[in-house]
Structure 1
Amino acid sequence: MIKKTLLLIAISLITQHSWTQQNAAVEKSVYGFQAGVLGFWAHNESRLDKNISLRTELGLDAGIFSSNADFSGSKVSVIFIPSISLEPRLYYNLRKRMDKGKNISENSGNFVALKLNYRPDWFTLSNVGNTSVADNIAIIPKWGIRRTFWNHLTYELGAGVGYRKYYLKQYGYNENPGEVAVDLHIRIGYTF
């Protein structure tokens, strides 16, 4: 009787461990909205492989700047710029989280990513008239975490450093200067 019980427990554990390893994967597709200190975005993450997803994102990045209002003093201004991003993500700890009994739903895990971000000069929303931005594109390797709580609420933290290229011919410049691009984000969101 004891041998049969131990055998059943062993088979159960092996089956559960095998099932856990096979199903520790990113979600097939996750849609959601996120808001952060500097903007808000709609996104989709689609599974490419067991631990790899492709995040597509459309939103408005915000910026804060100081302007000289009619030369009478400094004025703090806010601008919102359209932003389009593609970001392959490798979630590297899903199996470990699942084995520890931690939540991996809605792609809750740690990830490394390569963000490709395009900010076009289509329009801007600002409290200062006649504002515009130069078209620019950035490529930024980054690291981040994503966690889900209360089933559909998420928070995400991430950081990365890369390169941003500006396209300034529309402003009469022939050179296309580039600069270091930093991506630091803290976001909360809702997934469907």
Structure 2
Amino acid sequence: MRSKLSFTILLLLSSLLCFSQDAEVTDITNITKVTILSPGIGYEKRIAKYQSLYLQGFLDISGGVGYSSSLGFLSFLYLDPTFSLEYRYYYNFRRRQERGKRVAMNSLNYIAPFFRSSFPRRNYINSSGEFERKRRAIYATGATFGLQRNFRSRFSLDMNIGLGYMIEGRYTDDEGIASYNNNQFYFPGRISFGIWLNKRK
């Protein structure tokens, strides 16, 4: 009798353990991570099966060196505040799981419509023909294909590429004259390295 009771309890515990393990890998999860190349922080919130919203704030680094016959050598390095909101749909969860690949921490491929806003400081020519370095808002929207891999070591890799439309805010100089406005299609692409902060899975 005692052995039968022990066997029943063991069977129940095993079933619960298997169920809990399966529950951990049947869907995506919330993730908080810190990015390195473009310093910032991001939070991904699960909103439905294989779907999430990803909000990120970071400093977009841009720089360059050039030469002008009138101005000589030019160089610049900017840290531009940027905010991004993405809706992510992870489309290959089951396929990766069936192949025995890591799906924990949303280590999956995705499609992501996005909205992004940045405030860059760049050189612009004002109405007097002089260079100005005032910040202006740039808005962008579009969609990307991407992949995210959050490894057990806490290293995070996120890469994407797609098609977007950029709307650059009109610049107004001290005299109230608008001197620059630029709207165009472009191909957004990013490679992001970071560290995820959740408990290990």
**Normalised-by-shorter TM-score class:** 0.7 to 0.9
Q: Which amino acid aligns with 1:32?
A: K
Question: Within 5 Å, which residues of 2 pair with 1:14-163?
Answer: 20=22, 23-27=25-29, 29-36=30-37, 39-66=38-65, 73-120=72-119, 124=121, 131-163=133-165
Structure with higher Rg: it is 2
1:191 equivalent among 188, 196, 199: 196
SS at match of 2:115: strand
CA separation in 2, counterparts of 1:73 and 1:65? 14
- Residue 177 of structure 1 and its aligned partner are, at CA, apart by 3.1
> In the superposition, relative to structure 1, how do residues 73 and 175 fare at CA in structure 2: closer, same or farther (>3 Å)?
closer
Q: Give the stretch that moved more between structures: 179-188 or 86-95.
A: 179-188
CA separation in 1, counterparts of 2:44 and 2:117? 18
Deviations 1:107-165 (A, max 9, x none): 100001011001136xx59xxxx633321110021000111223411111110121001
> In the superposition, relative to structure 1, how do residues 116 and 155 fare at CA in structure 2: closer, same or farther (>3 Å)?
same
Q: Which amino acid aligns with 2:184?
A: E
1:178 equivalent among 174, 180, 183: 183
Q: Give the stretch that moved more between structures: 46-55 or 178-187.
A: 178-187
Q: Which amino acid aligns with 2:178?
A: Y
Query: Please, what TM-score do these two structures have when normalized by structure 2?
Result: 0.72
Query: Please, what TM-score do these two structures have when normalized by structure 1?
Result: 0.75
CA separation in 1, counterparts of 2:192 and 2:100? 25
CA separation in 2, counterparts of 1:72 and 1:113? 42
Gapped runs of 5+ residues in structure 2?
Answer: 1-13, 123-131
SS at match of 2:187: strand
Deviations 1:44-99 (A, max 9, x none): 00001110110000011121234669x56313321111001110000111122122
SS at match of 1:134: coil
What RMSD, in angstroms, separates the aligned Cα atoms of the two structures? 3.1
The count of aligned residue pairs is 170
Residue 165 of structure 1 corresponds to: 167
Gapped runs of 5+ residues in structure 1?
Answer: 1-11
